[in-house]
Structure 1
Amino acid sequence: MQDFTWDPQQYTVYADRRARPFHDLTARVRATDPKLVVDLGCGPGNMTRTLAERWPGARVRGLDSSADMVATAQQSAAGSGAPSNLEFAQVDAQRWSPEPEVDVLVSNAMLQWIPDHRRLVADWLEALRPGAWFAVQVPGNFAAPSHATIAELSRRPEYAHVLEGVTDRESVYTTDEYLETLVTAGFEPDVWETTYSQTLSGENPVYDWVRGAALRPSLQRLEAADRRDGTNLLDQYVEEYRRIMREAYPRFSTPDGVFLTDYPFRRIFVVGVKKGLAPSI
């Protein structure tokens, strides 16, 4: 039986494609000389490192709720060649608030796990000082087959008793709602959405992509149920999900005989800078 706890190695599969939205997000942050940069939901820290390299004069702090992710990030930060201005800590985002000196707050593909996070974001925006930057990216793919199937399977009689409420953890708002949140908090808004049409390779590439994040809570629940009850729900679920994905996202062959799958992925980007005069240092 596989272990479906949060796995930093699995999360970095397709690392280049997962990194692209982060780079597109932070490219719109025009802070020139920040003193404290926070990456909330930093995962294994590979993207946080790019912030430390971009702003070598800043303290760059990566925060994540997963002890395994933080341990991986700290180990990487302790290696040779790592920026000296980089630090990591374990934090529950729902109990966290920005310190007064935060100049840049980044959160990449994390807020979708927090229901009703618009209220939480409003609190963060209020706490940030004038001149501070806020930059968030969330997946907007929950109507796509890869994500809709997770909700559908959770309602099947054979899985419902184990997966009840599991899909309630994912929530995103419209671009208009995010824009309104920024404007109400006194930010100059920059909100947009992008659909990346990306090709994936392998026998079950969509499953391999989704099990690194969106599918993981379901897999964890099923694994725990199998261990507790001696059932085989996990293998049954995985096989059924893979079959549905192969039908929903058929492979095609390139001229050199390589099989690829087109997997469109929509992302929502929310960037803003707080209006008013920044305090003098």
Structure 2
Amino acid sequence: MTWNPEQYSLFTDHRLRPAIDLLSQVPLHAPSVIYDLGCGTGNVTAILSQHWNEAVVIGIDNSEDMLAKAKRDHPSIEWKTGDIADFAPTSKGNLIFSNAALHWLDDHEKLFPKLLKQLRPGGIMAVQMPNNFSAPSHETLYDIAQSAEWIDRLGSLVRPAPVHNINWYFDLLSPLVEKINIWETTYFQVLNGKDAVLEWTRGTALRPFLAALDGDDVDAFESQYAERLLEAYPVRRDGSTLYPFSRLFIVVQLPEG
């Protein structure tokens, strides 16, 4: 399964806003080493580099296609290929930042404490994850994938919601850190264009399902999905589509020593 940087970038403004909201809650003044995990095309990494221009900022992603665009657009930043699950840098960071990436990984009970161990004393981990898995855009996708027509090819791609609730993360992280700031926001995104929510999911949730299909099956599956999406997210009178999208934010800081 590969990422499509151009498709993902169709809604750059909407995807950047949560990252900026997360950044605004990071209480660091002069970090020396910053890691951006799941950096994608590097737009957020570039913002981190501009915000802390004296720091070494390293973007890490497992998609060569995404990193190729990141390197073209931001050649002055250091980019590395790697899986978040295997993240173990030789130099620990003052800040581990991850915007819309950790929900692709399972077993957060082990992952989050492991990431905290890659921080220096007083270091901060700042995470934003989509938490829209019970929304019609996702429930409809899973429902179609598990229907009689598609279950043999797509049923195995339906996974339990990877993001837990706020209480779960608080209970997991609070014994391990000195400070914790955790919240959830629902963004009422105004999308434009035909089949706007379909276009959004093509860049994210829909990707693995389309990657498992070939030829006419791609069109057939998308057609069924698009029809259901229009029922759930009708086009407004001005031609736009209102797409509520919930996101979970976590900012934690280790003790100084």
Q: What range is the shorter-chain TM-score in? A: over 0.9
**Matched residue, 2:60:** 63
**Matched residue, 1:229:** none
* Contact 1:42-1:108 within 8 A present in 2 as well: yes
Q: Secondary structure at the match of 2:111?
A: helix
Distance, in Å, in 2 between the alignment partners of 1:262 and 1:106 is 29
* Contact 1:35-1:101 within 8 A present in 2 as well: no
CA deviations 1:113-164 (Å, max 9, x no partner) are 1111231111111332221010001111111100111211111121111113
**Matched residue, 2:179:** 188
RMSD over equivalenced CA pairs, Å: 1.5
* Inter-CA distance 113–169: structure 2 relative to 1 (3 Å threshold): farther
**Matched residue, 1:235:** 219
* Contact 2:126-2:252 within 8 A present in 1 as well: yes
Distance, in Å, in 2 between the alignment partners of 1:189 and 1:99 is 26
Q: What TM-score results when the alignment is normalised by the length of structure 2?
A: 0.96
Question: Which residue of 45, 68, 85 maps to 2:42?
Answer: 45
Matches within 5 A, 1:19-168: 19-78=16-75, 84=76, 86-168=77-159
CA deviations 1:178-198 (Å, max 9, x no partner) are 122221212310000000011
Distance, in Å, in 2 between the alignment partners of 1:195 and 1:124 is 26
Gaps of 5+ in 1: 79-83, 227-231
Q: Secondary structure at the match of 1:5?
A: coil
Distance, in Å, in 1 between the alignment partners of 2:48 and 2:158 is 32
Letter of the aligned partner of 1:245 in structure 2? Answer: L
Identity of aligned residues (%): 37
* Contact 1:114-1:169 within 8 A present in 2 as well: no
* Contact 1:159-1:233 within 8 A present in 2 as well: no
Distance, in Å, in 2 between the alignment partners of 1:187 and 1:217 is 38
Q: Secondary structure at the match of 2:17?
A: helix
Shift of residue 243, structure 1, vs aligned partner: 0.3
Letter of the aligned partner of 1:196 in structure 2? Answer: Y
**Matched residue, 1:81:** none
Shift of residue 239, structure 1, vs aligned partner: 0.4
Distance, in Å, in 1 between the alignment partners of 2:58 and 2:232 is 40
Letter of the aligned partner of 2:131 in structure 1? Answer: G
Shift of residue 169, structure 1, vs aligned partner: 7.3
Q: Secondary structure at the match of 1:222?
A: coil
Shift of residue 99, structure 1, vs aligned partner: 4.3
Letter of the aligned partner of 1:261 in structure 2? Answer: T
Letter of the aligned partner of 2:121 in structure 1? Answer: P
Letter of the aligned partner of 2:180 in structure 1? Answer: P
Query: Residue 16 in 1 paired to residue 13 in 2?
Result: yes
Shift of residue 10, structure 1, vs aligned partner: 0.7
Distance, in Å, in 1 between the alignment partners of 2:56 and 2:190 is 36
Please say which of residues 214-223 and 95-104 is displaced more in the overlay. 95-104
Question: Which residue of 197, 201, 207 maps to 2:198?
Answer: 207
* Contact 2:92-2:118 within 8 A present in 1 as well: no
- The runs of at least 4 aligned residues of structure 1 exceeding 4 Å deviation read none
Shift of residue 272, structure 1, vs aligned partner: 1.1
Q: Secondary structure at the match of 2:93?
A: coil
Shift of residue 246, structure 1, vs aligned partner: 0.5
CA deviations 1:60-95 (Å, max 9, x no partner) are 0000010101111111122xxxxx4x2111101111
* Contact 2:2-2:63 within 8 A present in 1 as well: no
Distance, in Å, in 2 between the alignment partners of 1:186 and 1:259 is 47
Higher CA-based Rg: 1
